[in-house]
Structure 1
Amino acid sequence: MKDQYKIAICDDNVFCTKIESYIYEYYGKNNVKPSIFYSGEEFIKSKDKYDCVFLDIEMIDLNGIEITTMIRDYDLDTYIIVSGFPKYKNVSYRLHVFDYLDKPLKKTTLFKTLYDMTMLVKKNKMFNMNIFEQIKA
């Protein structure tokens, strides 16, 4: 059985649809479970845990920087991928985001980011499974 990746996308309608379609194209429909949020407040209220979160840097209510800061207060393991314009890269990386995707988004760039993130998620899951097995023994 293949892993199913839990991914959140928090952006405007057009960009959410684009990322979601690329994610399905990359993983296949049965291997990923994307959740779509059209505002930062909606995402924060969900309180779900994700393998990866795509955040827009510029949103009306909470922006990507504010949301990243909130996530990092309780979760250091989620891979956060921020999208926006180049002028926000430095502040994003100071918050330990996994990657920063420039808009307009290129599919090849997103696929490379998904590949890198997937390899790390698999490695972490394998590490955690090994630790659990050692504890059980």
Structure 2
Amino acid sequence: MKRNATAVWNGSGKDGNGHLTTQSTVLNQTQYSFNSRFADGVGTNPEELVAAAHAGCYTMSLSFGLNKAGFTAESLETTALINFENGTITGSHLVVKAKVAGIDQSALEVIAKESEQTCPVSRALSVEISSEILLVE
């Protein structure tokens, strides 16, 4: 399986602008710019997209891990916080709220830690990955 996305950029790095389109067209000429990346401009940016990819991949991996252990999540909510310092992604911190009947915190943490290490996006990132897991009722 192969997936793709296309980036188009016009102009200089600081004053130019561009757009991103994904194969699925969920992003369809979605704007990005210097301001959306380094300030508070409207549009997306590569680091935000890495965060979305990591949160989505990890959450699905956690769901599969829970299923393998005999549990089904009622809900999983993951926020990925990407650290972007001096032009480099230096880490990803996952904050998870899990509603899973019949599981205790320590069992959830074991499954979550395995998912943190094995999801494909985690494996693709060569940065420190950390997580917080909260079992909610």
Higher relative contact order (CA 8 A, sep 6+): 1
Higher helix share: 1
Which has the higher Rg, Structure 1 or Structure 2?
2
Answer yes or no: same fold by TM over 0.5.
no
